Amino acid sequence: MSLAETIYRTMFVKPHPAGYPFIGGALALAIVLLLIWKPLGIAGLFLTAAVYYFFRDPVRMVPQRDGLVVSPADGRVISVTPHQSLPDDLSEEDENATYTKISIFLSVLDAHVNRTPIGGEIVKTFYYEGKFLNAELDKASEENERASALVKLENGKLLGFTQIAGLVARRIVTNLEAGQKLETGERFGLIRFGSRMDVYLPEGVNSLVCVGQRALAGETILADLNSKEKQRMAKAI
């Protein structure tokens, strides 16, 4: 892909509908500032462009093979931790099983539209009004404001994922509800202004991403339910 194509695909895309009020408000402010003083108006237009960029909703090429788990968010993989329990708000559905938790940190420069990591039926959702700690901290998974969902897979196993608000993020948008059936890579919400996503892989499923790796929502493969490949490791070179 050429540089021009990369820039076009990254920046010149439709925004998520949740961003329309913010984009419209920033544009209205820019117009008022232009009437007051042109330099302020130009700054307002730059602000409008920044808000538009934040709410961008790029088209993604979602892998279509059974068993693939894709990233639910753009960002950097900050931890891959085996032998974890589901969050307390979901654990009653599967109290004794353990999971591999993959955590992805979204900066304010990342696209914030979230996508389902795998297709299946939503069996439970939960919203918790918590704190706004730095999303890179481990305790953010337990103490921050978050929205969790549990998916029942075709093989009967469960996979969980959680949207977590961060230090700057103050609003989680989600449209998931119990009984809903979703496809892999389907849009389901966003988190405004920096955040984190946790994915809980079923027991026996290894992560195919490494700490420090960049992920793209709907495209980067986090795991393969039908593969016995060992946990991937990496080193910076």
Please tell me which residue in 71, 195, 207, 227 is annotated as part of the active site: 195
What is the helix (H) or strand (E) element at residue 26, kind and residue range? helix 20-36
Most distant CA pair in the chain, distance: 64
Which among 81, 75, 84, 189 has a CA at the least distance from the CA of 135?
75
Give the end-to-end CA distance of the chain in Å, rounded to a whole number. 24
Contact (Cβ atoms closer than 8 angstroms) between residue 19 and residue 34: no
Phi, psi (5° rounding) for residue 7? -65, -45
The CA distances from residue 3 to 6, 8, 9, 110, 202, in Å, are 5, 9, 10, 18, 38
146 forms bridges with which residues in the sheet?
Answer: 128, 164
> Is 195 tagged catalytic?
yes
The CA distances from residue 159 to 16, 28, 91, 94, 107, in Å, are 26, 43, 11, 10, 25
Which among 57, 64, 7, 82 has a CA at the least distance from the CA of 216?
57
Q: Is the sign of the CA dihedral 89, 144, 10, 57 positive or negative?
A: positive
Return the active site residues.
195
